[in-house]
Amino acid sequence: MTKIHYRLIGAPVDSGRVGRGCLMGPDAMRTARLADALADLGHDVTDMGNLSPDDVPGVDVSSHVHAYAETAG
């Protein structure tokens, strides 16, 4: 088996539409111990933490996307 170095990056996103998004996805990945499972298979794993959106100034608020600035960020 080829040893691979994985970098896990969480993207807790709950924007783009009015309904619930996948805000808890990164925490679920960690709760499920994905990094440990990959390491147990002989791979190197680095958890890079969660991303956070950048501010997007000058956004057209008439867009059809809920929370457009956060989604674009």
Residue 67 has pLDDT above 80, yes or no: no
Residue spans of the domains in the chain: they are: 5-72
**CB-based contact 11:51 (threshold 8 Å):** yes
Q: What is the pLDDT of residues 3-24, one digit of tens each?
A: 999 999 998 877 666 666 678 8
Residue 28: both structure tokens together:
């679920």
Cα→Cα distances 35→2, 5, 9, 50, 54, Å: 17, 11, 11, 14, 27
User: What confidence score (pLDDT) does residue 24 get?
Assistant: 85
Is the model more confident about 1 or about 36?
36
The whole-number average pLDDT for the span 33-40 is 97
* Average confidence (pLDDT) over 25-30: 91
Higher pLDDT, 14 or 52: 52
- Mean pLDDT, the chain, integer: 82
